[in-house]
Structure 1
Amino acid sequence: MKEIVMPHMGVVVETGKIVKWLVEEGDFVKEGDSLFDVETEKVNISIDSKYTGTILKIIYREGDVVPVGETVALIGNKEEVDNFALEKESDTPENSISEPVVKTYEVIALNNIKKITAQKMEESWRSIPQFSISSKITANNLILYKNSLSNKYPKITYSDIFIKLVGETLQEHSYLNASFVGKENNLSIKLFKVINIGLAVDTPQGLIVVTFKNVTKKSINEIINERTELIRKAKNNSLNLEDVSETTFTISNLGMFKSVDKFSAIVNPPQSAILAVGKITEKKNLKHSYLWLTLSLDHRVVDGATAARFMDSLKEKIEGISIDKNGIGLKVK
């Protein structure tokens, strides 16, 4: 008899919620067959069997939140199935009587994505001492840059440009690409060696942060194509764990809404910073066009001066942006 366990699904994933069992007790399964759907890090994934045999017992049921490494079911061969059946016959079932509950109110349940978002935001406010700084950015070169590439890359958005520029800026300011770790007297700061930018995406199911891995190694065109695919998958509820894990810095862009001049976002744990992007106010004279950026930070990792230096660097990159000689890349004057 072998144990089916909740698998490890990423460095920061500690639990998984069983959404749906795809098998029942007594079912025969082969190695590689899907056993159950689990929800973690805002996506649903199917867990496959590592063994061939019969499901003897399902320990955790749908809706249970299970720590990684915990046994969720038992699987065995024919002899073990027979022995297990005899043991079950000797068990005396307990009868229970349930009384109807009369509700005097309506409860609107959160879907899985909104539930996880609520839990993470509550954790962020409760555990992270946060502060914010804002900067008004001249946007004329940014507008010209996007417009200059629109014919060649019609799907380009300002988010693509911000992902690329923020990635380059983080290379110079590593404490914003970091995480606070430890408890009590054993405290430290983890500096990530790769830069994985998360982008908040609005979907019918709720807010999802998709991840652009190792952005400093990617061209603006690669980022455009990746964003297009990730958003398509987010809208279709077909993201996998790789698409939403290991984010080291997040961007939240509400610039597409005409009423949002600027806003502050909540740090997404275990990250140390998040950038909120407001709308671009475009003037007839482009030199007067501008946008607001607001940076929210974990004060345990980043102090005010460090945050200001990051914002100065990012402001310089945005205001000095231009196309390179091939017309496809980023160049800062």
Structure 2
Amino acid sequence: MVTKVVMPKYGWTMTEGKVLKWLKKEGELVKKGEPLFEMESEKTVTQVEAEASGILRKILVQEGTVVPVGETIAILTEPGEELPSSDTLKQMVEEKPQIVEEEKIKISPAARKLAEEHGIDITKIKGTGPDGRIVKEDILRVIESEKEVVKVSSLPAKIIPLEGMRKIIAERMALSARTTARVLLTIDVDMSEVSKLRQSLLEDVEKKWGVRLTYTDILVKAVAKALEEHPIVNSILVEDKIHVMESINIGVAVALKDGLIVPVVREANKKSLIEIALQLKELIEKARQGKLSTEEATGGTFTISNLGMYGVGVQMQIINPPEVAILGVGAITDKPVVINGQISIRPMMTLSLVFDHRALDGAPAAEFLVTLKRILENPYILLI
């Protein structure tokens, strides 16, 4: 029996993957569940296991090649079974996964003709005419912008290719910016009690568990608790359907040398503060070593991005699709605030919630922020 090895789909938004390394050679025996090749996608590198046993008869895609999801990349056969004829093999390889036809692009005849003359991809143009129709002026703007690119490209510069992780990030962020209706809400939080709580636990936790408790650990726990009270914020939007997720899986953005990655703390609401601290430490270490599994870097339902260490305040974050919200965490700075009619200096932090208005309205988003503020200003509930 001949078995096709295809590029798998890991995650809601994955459309292609790169074959980084074959872990078996042609002619070798492969057992079901055994690692077959390494793949890069969705900002992760993972080992893909064989879905069937057999002999790896033919590798069709070489290392370093990017292929669409569902494309055949290798052929397995039973031991002793010969490789199919070249015609049969070609037919098997050319079988493509069924693709849903895209909505017809609205474009005026003059605009279409001009685009064809200049070799412009109209699928990447947002029309400004009635009902989003692409008009001639839209094409002319693209032509002028390309002229500017030519002028700029002639200047001396260090060229950094948009490839690998950087390319994946660029594509996902551009997709998010194009397809989401982003709205920003901010709220200031008095972090006095969180600072006291962290300081009181710091030494004992580090001595007993070998982990240094961070503000991010506390934020993950607090956000998980707030999401329990506001489940609509813990949603994903897929194919015009809002999925209110039962599991609260919180992604934490981690900066890398050549980009960023978002490891996920699964079922964060069911974990203690210490369990979150231990798991997050492990995930961050694996992320920086490039050893995160697909499960550890996908499946998030809400994302936290903490840029407070850089002194940043309000942040207009890009939502991590298909999630519907992301929380930007600002720096903790001493500020004068009025408490009971008196001016007091308190450690204040700005939280920036960016949400997709297609799935979430302003009121429930604001209510979530208010709940999160209440928890952080009375954080001892997180120890229960």
Q: Verify: 1:120 aligned to 2:178, yes or no.
A: no
1:250 and 2:316 are equivalent in the alignment? no
Moved more, 304-313 or 39-48: 39-48
Cα distance, 1:64 vs structure 2? 3.7
Partner of 2:319 in structure 1? Answer: 267
- Name the SS for the 1:117 alignment partner: helix
1:133 aligns with 2:185: yes
- For residues 64 and 55 of structure 1, what CA distance do their matches in structure 2 show? 18
What SS class does the counterpart of residue 262 from structure 2 fall into?
A: strand
After TM superposition, the runs of 4+ consecutive aligned structure 1 residues lying more than 6 A away are 85-88, 103-106, 283-286
1:243–1:170 distance in 2 versus 1, CA, 3 Å: same
Counterparts in 2 of 1:49 and 1:144: CA distance versus 1, 3 Å: same
TM-superposed CA distance for 1:296, in Å, is 0.3
- Would the alpha carbon gap of residues 83 and 144 (structure 1) be closer, same or farther in structure 2, given more than 3 Å must change? closer
Instruction: Give the match's secondary structure for 1:152.
Output: helix
TM-score (norm 1): 0.82
Letter in 2 for 1:59: L
Report matched runs for 1:180-191 at 5 Å.
Answer: 180-182=237-239, 187-191=240-244
TM-superposed deviation, 1:179: 1.8
Q: Of 190, 198, 204, which aligns to 1:146?
A: 198
Question: 155-164 or 78-87: which moved more?
Answer: 78-87
Query: Which of 358, 375, 379 is the aligned partner of 1:300?
Result: 358
1:240 to 293, 298, 318: 293
Identical columns (%): 36
Report matched runs for 1:19-58 at 5 Å: 19-24=20-25, 26-31=26-31, 34-58=35-59
Moved more, 303-312 or 15-24: 15-24
Residues paired across the two proteins, number: 306
One of 215, 226, 229 as aligned partner of 2:279: 226
**How has the CA–CA distance of structure 1 residues 37 and 82 changed in structure 2, closer, same or farther, with 3 Å as cutoff?**
closer
Mark the runs of 5 or more structure 2 residues left unpaired by the alignment: 90-152, 207-211, 337-342
Q: Bigger CA drift: 301-310 or 10-19? A: 10-19
Which fold has the larger relative contact order, with Cα–Cα distance below 8 Å and residues 6 or more apart in sequence?
Answer: 1
Amino acid at match of 1:222: E
Match of residue 377 from structure 2: 319
Partner of 2:128: none
What is the CA distance between 1:245 and its match in structure 2? 1.2
CA distance in 2, matches of 1:86, 1:305: 61
Please give the TM-score of this superposition, normalised by the length of structure 2.
Answer: 0.72
Higher relative helix content: 2
C-alpha change, 1:135 and 1:64, in structure 2 (3 Å) is same
33 and 214 in structure 1: CA distance in 2 versus 1, 3 angstrom threshold: closer
The 8 Å contact of residues 163 and 215 in structure 1, kept in 2 or not, is answered as yes
The DSSP-based 3-state class of the residue aligned with 1:162 is helix
Residue 234 of structure 1, CA deviation: 1.0
Question: Is the Cα–Cα contact under 8 Å of residues 262 and 276 in structure 1 kept in the other structure?
Answer: yes
Helix, strand or coil at the partner of 2:308: coil
Whether the 8 Å contact between 2:307 and 2:329 is mirrored in structure 1 is yes
The Cα offsets for residues 147-172 of structure 1, whole Å up to 9 and x where unpaired, read as 11111123100000100011111111
Instruction: After TM superposition, give the deviation of residue 36 of structure 1 in Å.
Output: 2.1
- The whole-number CA distance in structure 1 between the counterparts of 2:282 and 2:363 is 37
Give the CA RMSD over aligned residues: 2.8
**Cα-to-partner distance string for 1:120-144 (whole Å, 9 max, x where unaligned):** 1000111111010111111111111
What secondary structure is seen at the aligned counterpart in 2 of 1:17?
Answer: strand
